[in-house]
Amino acid sequence: MRSILPLLALSVALPAGAAELRYASTTDPNTLDPHAGNSAPNFSLLGNVYEGLVRRGRDMSIEPALATSWEPIGNGEGWRFTLREGVTFHDGEAFDADDVIFSYERASSPESDVASWFAPVSEVVKVDDYTVDILTSAPNPIFPDSIANWMILDSGWAEANDVARPNIEQGNFATTNANGTGPYRVTERQPGLRTVLEAHDGWWDDDIGNVDRAVFQPVQNAATSVAALLSGELDLIEPVPVQDAARVEQADGVDVVRGIEARVIMLGFPHDADGLYGGDVEGNPFQDARVRRAVAQAVNVPAILQTVMRGSAEPVAQLVGPGMRGFTEGLDPYAYDPDAARVLLAEAGYPDGFQFSLRCPNDRYLNDEAVCTAINAMLAQVGLQPRLETMPVANYWPTLRAEEHDVYLLGWSPGTFDAEHPIRFLVATPDEEAKLGSWNFGGYSNDRVDELLPRIQSEIDDGARQAMLDEVANIVKDEAVYVPLYVQPLIWGVKDGVDLVQRPDNFVVLRWMEVAG
């Protein structure tokens, strides 16, 4: 009898009717305007409301959304998108090519926060009401992958409400109101407090679960949201703090859903500095690859993952995690070997180590401060003398930009879910004009990487492209340009009976949820 009971319970739970989902996350989207903010909390919420030409499926692959198909034009001059007919916005207006053109102009305008997605685009041409050509200045094989978060607004609605351009600093009607084509519409919005989404009956697709109403509330304090989950006031919280995950797992009526995020946590070095910011030696020892490799071998990543991250995270040897497009197979991280690290330091002329500054944020990544404290101790064990300093992220980025750093902690989530993304932002020689290397705080520069990057960006053939990505991944590893540590875990807490899909982009996709009644 005992084995049958759970089965019975399951079969009763499955054919649930319409359900409400109450969920919480730490950060409230700062705007409902999909072109005025470029951050995961925004797209996570707005992805339920607005849609792009393409969207990401359960496995992160690109699939048709407002475009039914797309194909390259000629010899890589751009992409032709065939649009879906019969789609309406939440206010009842029909969707057509004019909305795409309008949304392109809006999203690529100087007032937009997502304009950099359209840097490769030279022109967008309306062919007919349901066909649009997006022309690129160079062949761009991953363009459809890069616009999964480019959301389409209704041109009529935007003009009627005077929101033809996003307004980050002053705000406008689109900051607190939304009108998309997606499966949910916003019925209530109290910034910072509460957002209510309700199912949109006229949605064109039928891939939708039974959540017909969702209430989102930001809860900053992790202990508060865990308590609210345990007491049954919330059905889903993200994230569950690493240190609370085991407790939530053991509690009755709730469970933990784990996955890995797209974000790789790494150590960065001062490559182009003449001297150290917090050092006691002449010159910059980190310009010697042997010193950087010594750091890589001195950090015991498995130990950090076991203690600080409680076994939740995965080690990684490159700047993207597995599952991203262009991931290099067969690349192993440097093994933890403090003796080898000491030998490398001695070879480089620093047998007794040297002093430098180690900077970390303390409110940006999961347990970032604890991770850095562990790294600090591990580096000290091979004779290095790091001076650890942690600070809130609001101060952290400005110090890195001001070159006030030696070794620093950085997390990177590739917006395009492609290995080209971190190369463009983190490895390419900084060049403001060409919008390259804007987060390459160490100023690393490698001619071969700079030569390969444009070819990676325009290579149509997947095999040839992967070969070049592999080459860059190997350069980054051999030169120890960065020391990739681990892929950050995703830990959500859910009430029993909530069935959901967790993707590496950490988006809460309501339409894939089934909530038992």
- List Cβ neighbours of 325 (8 Å cut-off, separation of 6 or more): 142, 145, 416, 417, 418, 419
Which of 161, 355, 438, 446 is in the footprint of other proteins by CB under 8 A? Answer: 438
User: Which of 148, 141, 146, 131 is CA-nearest to residue 78?
Assistant: 141
Say which DSSP state 161 is in: T
Q: How far is the CB of 47 from other proteins (least distance, A)?
A: 15
Beta strands in 293-383 (DSSP E): 314-315, 355-361
Q: Does 195 bind other proteins (CB under 8 A)?
A: no
Q: Does 223 bind other proteins (CB under 8 A)?
A: yes
Which of 167, 429, 446, 458 is in the footprint of other proteins by CB under 8 A? Answer: 167
Q: How far is the CB of 39 from other proteins (least distance, A)?
A: 5
Q: Does 86 bind other proteins (CB under 8 A)?
A: no
Which of 233, 462, 478, 496 is in the footprint of other proteins by CB under 8 A? Answer: 233
Q: Does 137 bind other proteins (CB under 8 A)?
A: no
CA–CA separation, 370 and 86 (whole Å): 53
Residue 4 exposed, middle or buried by CB count within 10 Å (0-12, 13-18, 19+): exposed
Apex 35 CA angle, 87 and 264, nearest 5: 110
Which of 138, 193, 460, 464 is in the footprint of other proteins by CB under 8 A? Answer: 193
Contact segment (CB under 8 A) with other proteins among 312-320, 394-402, 453-461, 462-470 equals 394-402
Angle between helix 289-298 and 368-381 (nearest 10): 110
Q: Does 221 bind other proteins (CB under 8 A)?
A: yes
Q: Does 353 bind other proteins (CB under 8 A)?
A: no
Which of 18, 122, 159, 192 is in the footprint of other proteins by CB under 8 A? Answer: 192
User: Which of 269, 292, 412, 423 is CA-nearest to residue 347?
Assistant: 292
CA–CA separation, 426 and 319 (whole Å): 9
Q: How far is the CB of 436 from other proteins (least distance, A)?
A: 10
Give the N- to C-terminal CA distance of the chain in Å, as an integer: 24
Which of 207, 282, 397, 474 is in the footprint of other proteins by CB under 8 A? Answer: 397
Contact segment (CB under 8 A) with other proteins among 218-226, 311-319, 447-455, 487-495 equals 218-226
Residue 276: helix, strand or coil by DSSP?
Answer: coil
Q: Does 394 bind other proteins (CB under 8 A)?
A: yes
- List Cβ neighbours of 350 (8 Å cut-off, separation of 6 or more): 281, 285, 291, 383
CA–CA separation, 100 and 106 (whole Å): 10
- In one-letter notation, the amino acid at residue 455 is R
Question: Torsion-angle region of residue 86: left (phi > 0), alpha (psi -120 to 50) or beta?
Answer: left
Contact segment (CB under 8 A) with other proteins among 204-212, 242-250, 348-356, 430-438 equals 430-438
Which of 16, 20, 38, 340 is in the footprint of other proteins by CB under 8 A? Answer: 38
Q: How far is the CB of 43 from other proteins (least distance, A)?
A: 10
Q: Does 429 bind other proteins (CB under 8 A)?
A: no
Contact segment (CB under 8 A) with other proteins among 48-56, 58-66, 431-439, 489-497 equals 431-439
Q: How far is the CB of 284 from other proteins (least distance, A)?
A: 25
State the number of binding residues for other proteins (CB under 8 A): 51
The answer to whether the CB of 101 falls within 8 A of the CB of 124 is yes
Q: How far is the CB of 165 from other proteins (least distance, A)?
A: 13
Distance of CA 171 to the CA centre of its chain: 25
Contact segment (CB under 8 A) with other proteins among 163-171, 281-289, 379-387, 500-508 equals 163-171
CA–CA separation, 205 and 208 (whole Å): 8
Q: Number of C-alpha atoms within 13 angstroms, CB side, residue 93? A: 17
The tokens for 258 are: 């784990």
Comparing CB distances to other proteins, the nearer of 30 and 429 is 30
Which of 25, 210, 217, 318 is in the footprint of other proteins by CB under 8 A? Answer: 217
Which of 393, 460, 464, 467 is in the footprint of other proteins by CB under 8 A? Answer: 393
Q: Does 114 bind other proteins (CB under 8 A)?
A: yes
Which of 61, 122, 187, 395 is in the footprint of other proteins by CB under 8 A? Answer: 395
At which residue do the structure tokens 């942690």 appear? 390
Q: Which helix (H) or strand (E) holds 302?
A: helix 301-307
Q: Does 377 bind other proteins (CB under 8 A)?
A: no
Beta strands in 222-269 (DSSP E): 236-238, 254-268
CA–CA separation, 324 and 61 (whole Å): 10
Contact segment (CB under 8 A) with other proteins among 12-20, 185-193, 377-385, 505-513 equals 185-193
Residues in touch with other proteins (CB under 8 A): 30-31, 36-39, 110, 113-117, 167-172, 175-176, 190-193, 217, 219-221, 223-225, 227-228, 230-233, 363, 392-395, 397-398, 413, 415, 425, 432, 435, 438-439
